[in-house]
Amino acid sequence: MTGPAALLWRTAGTLAAPLLPLYLRRRARAGHEIAERLGERRGCAGGARPPGRLLWIHAASVGETLSVLRLMDALAARLPDLAFLVTTGTVTSAGLLAERLRPALAPRVRHRFAPLDVPAWVARFLDAWRPDAGVFVESELWPNLIAAARRRDIPLALVNARLSPRSARLWARGAPGLARELLGAFRLVLAQSDEVARRLAALGAPRAACWGNLKYAADPLPADPAELERLRGLTAGREILLAASTHPGEEALALVAHRRLTAIYPRLLTILVPRHPQRGEAVALEADGLVGRHAEAPRLRVARRAAGQEPGPATAVYVADTLGELGLFYRLASVALVGGSLVPHGGQNPLEPARLGCPILLGPHTWNFAEPVERLLAAGGAVQLAPGPDLAAALAREAAAVLREPRRGQAMAAAAAAVAADQAGLPDRVAEALAELLPPRADRGAGQTLAAHGTTEKD
């Protein structure tokens, strides 16, 4: 990649490299990195490359990681000799990958944190792992990393691609040449929707297509059966409002809705599941203090799961601040708000509750999942709150409508489940296309011999 924008980005990455270790150490102190694995962010291998063919999958965070689990299963079944290198950028996604991999697949998978986009660091990473092909998931397009892979003739695919109208405009106005070079590096480009495919094609993606959305084909979120039964026993006879994967600002709105709903449903339990579990203590303090400021209302009785507390009969709000347990609470809930949608974050994945028979409420900000949301709304599988000054009142009103009419909630859940099950065969189709990017089994593949690539980047 030789255009001015690519050169500027490459230069910026090189100049920033001396400062980035300090940045990484600060992130580690805040819990956003694992201190013992910071070398991976500088491209250090942290282990030996497995023998044979290796497919590299880059899935930036939790949603992207979960969306490719069934794709990996399909590839593993098709290619018994294939090993996987999965790179992610967050501690949470690394933990969930370890939890969700099927036991039969886990020995074939290596996880590493993705190198920051410094030319020397991405060169070190690729030279150590020598992947035979690479798969980027959704929307992470790192110019130096992609350029380095292209120089090594590593076949690349972009799957389940996502590109908002705003991002498309920014690329088109600010760096159209760089966008064309980046997207031109991919031999296969599969978008989440036809609309996204058109945006990518306009920016230069060759033969961009939409075969479906891998998030429709993901497995249901898991839940420990014994723990689910135990929680059902603790909450029997109570209405449960779940606010799932919430972001700052949303818990306060859910708590105001809780106060309104308790006038009708005095035994209501509201469960708050913050998107980032480390916020749990702050969320619990907010829950206890927010209602406590109102003289006419008693202080909320709040329990925190990470602190070992239970949702007892006197508990009004339960903060579920643990990792990987959202499947428990979607199964437990009477009605659920999908977080990230009451504030302008763009929404979290509404297909997760759709697979678990839970009536779905959405805030007005859902552009991250525009196409699934459109299908859910059209099918009657979800209700979306209209933008307005009092989202808490709207949330209380729509939650009350579902709680008041159980048959309505059941119909919503059935419609949502049908939408979520629509593309069960997609992982097999995508796996077949990705298999064609890999060298024949007898050929050790692109990137195996460093001398073939003439890499010259220095630390």
What H or E segment, with its residue span, contains residue 244? strand 240-246
- In this structure, the answer to whether residues 294 and 169 fall within a common structural domain is no
The pLDDT value given to residue 292 = 47
The pLDDT value given to residue 298 = 52
The pLDDT value given to residue 15 = 95
Tens-digit pLDDT profile for residues 301-345: 999 999 999 999 999 999 999 988 999 999 999 999 999 999 999
Number of compact structural domains in the chain:
2
Instruction: Show the tokens assigned to 104.
Output: 């039969």
The pLDDT value given to residue 261 = 97
Which candidate, 111, 89, 87, 79, places its Cα nearest to that of 98? 111
- In this structure, the answer to whether residues 93 and 113 fall within a common structural domain is yes
Give the CATH number for residue 262.
Answer: 3.40.50.2000
Torsion angle defined by CA atoms of residues 197, 200, 206 and 211, in that order, rounded to the nearest 10 degrees: -20
Counting DSSP H helices and E strands in the chain, the numbers are: 20, 14
Domain assignment of residue 449, yes or no: no
The pLDDT value given to residue 219 = 87
User: What share of the chain has pLDDT > 70, as a percent?
Assistant: 94
Tens-digit pLDDT profile for residues 357-416: 999 999 999 998 888 999 999 999 999 999 999 999 999 999 999 999 999 999 999 999
The pLDDT value given to residue 295 = 36
d(Cα 39, Cα 24) in Å, to the nearest integer? 10
Give the CATH number for residue 117.
Answer: 3.40.50.11720
How confident is the prediction for the chain on average, in pLDDT? 91
Out of 64, 239, 325, 352, which one is annotated catalytic?
A: 64
User: What share of the chain has pLDDT > 90, as a percent?
Assistant: 81
Domain assignment of residue 80, yes or no: yes
Domain assignment of residue 453, yes or no: no
d(Cα 291, Cα 115) in Å, to the nearest integer? 44
At a CB cut-off of 8 Å and minimum separation 6, what does 450 contact? 127, 130
- In this structure, the answer to whether residues 92 and 200 fall within a common structural domain is yes
140 is catalytic: no
Kindly provide the b/e burial profile for residues 87-124, where b requires at least 16 CB atoms within 10 angstroms of the residue's own CB.
Answer: bbbbbbbbbbbeebbeeeeeebbbbbbbbbbbbbbbbb
Confidence of residue 139 (pLDDT cuts 50, 70, 90): confident
Confidence of residue 1 (pLDDT cuts 50, 70, 90): low
- In this structure, the answer to whether residues 236 and 290 fall within a common structural domain is yes
Tens-digit pLDDT profile for residues 255-276: 999 999 999 999 999 999 999 9
Domain housing 14: 4-217+426-440
